[in-house]
Structure 1
Amino acid sequence: MDLETLLSYPWGIMAPEFTILIVATLLSIMDLFMKDKVNRNVLGWFAIGGVVLALIFLIGQFGAPVQMILYDTYRLDSFSVAFKLILLIGTLFVLLLGLDYGKKEIKYRGEFFYLLLTALLGGMIMASSADMITLFVGLELLSLSSYVMAGLRKNNLQSNEAAFKYVVNGGVATAITLFGMSYVYGLTGYTNLFDISDALQNPVVLENGFLLAFAFFLVFVGLAFKVAAVPFHMWSPDVYQGAPTPVTAFLSVVSKTAGFALILRFLLVVFGGAHGIQPLQPLLLDTQIYIAVVAGLTMIVGNVMALRQTNVKRLFAYSSVAQAGYLLVPFATLSIVMFENVWFYLVAYLFMNLGAFAVLQLVTTQSGTEDLRGFAGLGQRSPLMAVGMGVFLVSLAGIPVTAGFMGKFYIFIGALSTGHFILASVMIATSVVSYFYYFGIMTQMFFRKAPTTEAMRVPIGASIVIVIAVIATIGLGIVPQLAIDFFNTNFDFSQIFMRV
């Protein structure tokens, strides 16, 4: 590629990514030359400033036409902008939590801040990629950064175990994903998603429908590891328990959002128009039953296993597995409001889950235990924080007048409208099961005696996250149309299929 071609690209479409890259690079250099005794929170505030600046650039891209650069491997469209918005806001909240996390837990705090940004950058690349190579680069950048962050509590055996298990399972998932992609490349001869989609109409490819279905299966299995869908979820409880709490929050929301963005982009653009094993049957309809089974099992196993947990981080790991099951339902139903439902639920999940993790971090840090008993008497010690946690738990359980309820309701209606009555029934049944463990935490907060009457200290970072999350969780539950109107006004998800 010559210089003239490089300069001809509209590099402004990558302004948010360049901002995160530059800030992460500067943070790593600053951390290298800072003395050991200097408080690393200054790096955290610098990272927060970088994410806010990237958000400003991203907001400026709302309503922009579809653009592609680097030989159509990287694109700006409504799909990428919508998911980057969730990724940036989620990372901003995690950074605020990271400011308050104990110095004794993470000795090398500078690493946390710039590794978090590189993981974010990987997720943003995944959201904008239009080529299997750039998709894989983004996926690995996110994954490798996450592996290191999971083991940042270097003197903690659980953290060491978490990092090891995450690396091993992540490596297996990567290998399976690459194997599936190699079949796609072998059948079509292309790595660009739109070229692959066109090539799948070739009669020679149509004669190999079984191989294409096998490739779909492999890619989906590999990506199911990333979003912790059953039966590929076994790494998540140990990783969530062993990783530092801000990292656990990042994995549960931001990493999962990037995973679903990749699944949407890859499966719909590549396989959306592909023929199945029977030439007259679309491949996505052939595979509906498989995705439906995975979604159903993920909801059932996640919620049932959460009932047995006494460690609150493991409980939220299985809760996160269950939430992945709810998010997989639109993929199985393929309703006309699929994009809208997935995006809205991810936004709701962002606020209710990160708000819950903010309270969880405060309680586990100040009580010195990750056991459910650490929440005992929180309603007496810190009534406002207990009420906030109650709002998040009610929303996660899917009880009316919360964002979580509206998100599940939209997905439920989408399942009913396409005739998937069994999946809709599983959604209702598993949501009822979740009441038991979510309300178990509320029982501890409001009906158990506090071991001490001393009020809990709430740092500024956690306070900001909790207040914003409570307002958004209740607001989106009462007036969900605000988010829907925002979505319809600023994003046109049909652009995902536009080549330019």
Structure 2
Amino acid sequence: MYSAFNADWSLMTPEIVLAALALVIFTLDFMTGIKGKKPFLGRLSIITLIITAVLVFLTNRTGGSIADVFVVDPFSMVFKLIILFSVIIVIAISLYYLDKHEDIYQGEFYSLLLFATLGAMLMVSSADLITLFIGLELLSISSYCLAGFKKHNRKSTESAIKYIVLGGTASAFILYGMSFLYGLTGSTSLVVIGQNINTLFVDFPVIISVSFLFMLVGFGFKISIVPFHMWAPDVYEGSPTPVTAFLTAVSKIAGFALVLRLFYVGIFGFGERGSLLPDSLYHEFFIVLAIIAALTMIIGNLIALTQQNVKRLMAYSGIAQAGYLFVPIAATLAPYFSMTIIAFYSIAYVVMVLGAFAIITLVTEDTGREDFSSFSGLYKRSPFMAIAMTVFLVSLAGLPLTAGFVGKAWIFFGAVTADMTWLAVIMIVTSVISFYYYFGIMKQMFMRDPNPNDADLKVPVGITVAVSITLGITIILGVMPNLIVDNFSHFNWMYMLTR
């Protein structure tokens, strides 16, 4: 029998260090009084995340698993680094935002961000239904609190209530779906489930199908795909803007990483080195995934056309982007190829969306408005911010020489290669639709005069650094994508698929 005393707990060093330092930051906040400006806690949080990122990289050099429950492999390393980088940018944005909102308790805010990050890291390394759910709920509960952090603001309170009610319902769907798998296999291990699920499907097709659909509903809510997206616009609009950036980038990417491991190791039952078995459940359900991807791209982009609030627009844009990320899962029969595409587009997605949210935070806080008019004359007020925002928007739209274009191009060719040309055509059409609402913001920046009450924009250091880093990566990956992809090609992505 496996003994916990024989486990290599050093594999969890990054998570243990992150949890300990998050508690230290919470304690320092308590010792210095919960109110007041505490930018040093934000800087300490960034240092904590950098230390954790270094430990993630070092830990992956050995790799392995703890009883097939917690896995360290290239897959988990890449997505953990994406998550940690994203949270660093979110905190850089938060330094400016919290300075403008003294009613937000800063120590609690940073501590919750770190605990949410811990949950996301557990999610991407989980190879067991229990640890998977623990990580998911740690991220979710922290996110519920962050969404309602402006407790004296009606929209923020409303968004938190909607989020926790619908999020709790989604978690119930996930647990109910998991219970069927446990009942049939007698195990919560994704490896054991994957080894038996194809055989069990022959005898219990209805139960397996119901289990898959229940989990798809629950996880669909977490990553805001259609038709489980209804919470996102209201929650994104009501949450503090840095929290909206966190939900748009970190929560979504962690959710996708979790779904990838769950589907490829557990549900679809891939064979040795990720080969697709002839009787895999993938053949039964891939059309469901493809339809969801198509609906998500179509509805996300179409409803975005009607939005005037920039945070709601970014919510629907994020829904559409989730559809693009879902295409490789539905359209390819090669897990390694699928994960390489998703990993690259995940990096592209977080840099362009976080860069955009850094500028949105700056502009909306300066003008006190969240509609398109807040961007009026931005080029005259701050040329660099206007140009950077343009690059992020055209990257989200998928125009050439940007990271977004390269990512979408690979997804498109993957869909065509998998004989899903109809899905590739929907990608092109919806991307063209997105040009219209992205260009609406650009028109405000370059073709409108500033509001008479809007002076030259003073850009704080944190926002400048966040925008500069994300802008540089967006352009570099658009011009030289092989800097990352060449490294990905050497990965045996999942330890669980290469044993």
| Distance apart, 1:449 and its partner CA | 0.7
| Distance apart, 1:108 and its partner CA | 1.1
Q: Is contact 1:274-1:283 (8 Å) kept?
A: no
Q: Is contact 1:187-1:205 (8 Å) kept?
A: no
Question: 1:338-374 CA deviation, whole Å, 9 max, x = no partner?
Answer: 0111000000001100000000000000011001100
Q: For 1:307 and 1:262, how far apart are their aligned partners in 2?
A: 31
Q: For 1:466 and 1:106, how far apart are their aligned partners in 2?
A: 26
Normalising by structure 2, report the TM-score: 0.95
Question: 1:374-420 CA deviation, whole Å, 9 max, x = no partner?
Answer: 00000000011100000000100000000000000000000000110
Question: 1:433-478 CA deviation, whole Å, 9 max, x = no partner?
Answer: 0000000000000000101462211111111110011110010000
Structure 2 unmatched runs, 5+: 272-276
* Residues 11-22 of structure 1 mapped to structure 2, 5 A cutoff: 11-22=9-20
Identity across aligned pairs (percent)?
46
Point out 4+ residue stretches in structure 1 off by more than 4 angstroms.
none
Query: Aligned pair count?
Result: 490
Q: Is contact 2:36-2:105 (8 Å) kept?
A: no
Specify the code of the residue in structure 2 equivalent to 1:449.
D
Equivalent residue number for residue 274 of structure 2: none
CA RMSD for the aligned pairs? Answer: 1.8
Picking from 46, 53, 65, the partner of 1:55 is 53
* Residues 368-383 of structure 1 mapped to structure 2, 5 A cutoff: 368-383=368-383
Q: Is contact 1:126-1:262 (8 Å) kept?
A: yes
SS of 1:303's equivalent in the other structure is helix
Q: For 1:114 and 1:172, how far apart are their aligned partners in 2?
A: 26
Q: For 1:58 and 1:160, how far apart are their aligned partners in 2?
A: 36
Evaluate the alpha carbon distance shift between residue 201 and residue 415 of structure 1 in structure 2; reply closer, same or farther with a 3 A threshold. Answer: closer
Structure 1 unmatched runs, 5+: none
The answer to whether structure 1 residue 120 and structure 2 residue 117 are counterparts is: yes
Equivalent residue number for residue 168 of structure 2: 171
Specify the code of the residue in structure 1 equivalent to 2:484.
A
Equivalent residue number for residue 23 of structure 2: 25
Q: Is contact 1:79-1:496 (8 Å) kept?
A: no
Higher mean displacement: 92-101 or 193-202: 193-202
Evaluate the alpha carbon distance shift between residue 74 and residue 106 of structure 1 in structure 2; reply closer, same or farther with a 3 A threshold. Answer: farther
Q: Is contact 2:37-2:102 (8 Å) kept?
A: no
Q: Is contact 1:378-1:445 (8 Å) kept?
A: yes
| Distance apart, 1:498 and its partner CA | 3.6
Equivalent residue number for residue 478 of structure 2: 477
Q: Is contact 2:198-2:281 (8 Å) kept?
A: no
Q: For 1:401 and 1:388, how far apart are their aligned partners in 2?
A: 14
* Residues 200-349 of structure 1 mapped to structure 2, 5 A cutoff: 200-202=197-199, 206-273=202-269, 281-336=279-334, 337-349=337-349
Specify the code of the residue in structure 2 equivalent to 1:469.
T
Q: For 1:106 and 1:497, how far apart are their aligned partners in 2?
A: 49
Q: Is contact 1:398-1:404 (8 Å) kept?
A: yes
Specify the code of the residue in structure 2 equivalent to 1:478.
V
Q: For 2:198 and 2:234, how far apart are their aligned partners in 1?
A: 44
Q: For 2:11 and 2:278, how far apart are their aligned partners in 1?
A: 39
| Distance apart, 1:78 and its partner CA | 1.3
Specify the code of the residue in structure 2 equivalent to 1:344.
F
Q: Is contact 2:198-2:280 (8 Å) kept?
A: no
Equivalent residue number for residue 488 of structure 2: 487
Q: For 2:5 and 2:45, how far apart are their aligned partners in 1?
A: 29
SS of 1:101's equivalent in the other structure is helix
Higher mean displacement: 384-393 or 37-46: 37-46
SS of 2:71's equivalent in the other structure is strand
SS of 1:287's equivalent in the other structure is helix
Q: For 2:40 and 2:170, how far apart are their aligned partners in 1?
A: 36
The answer to whether structure 1 residue 143 and structure 2 residue 144 are counterparts is: no
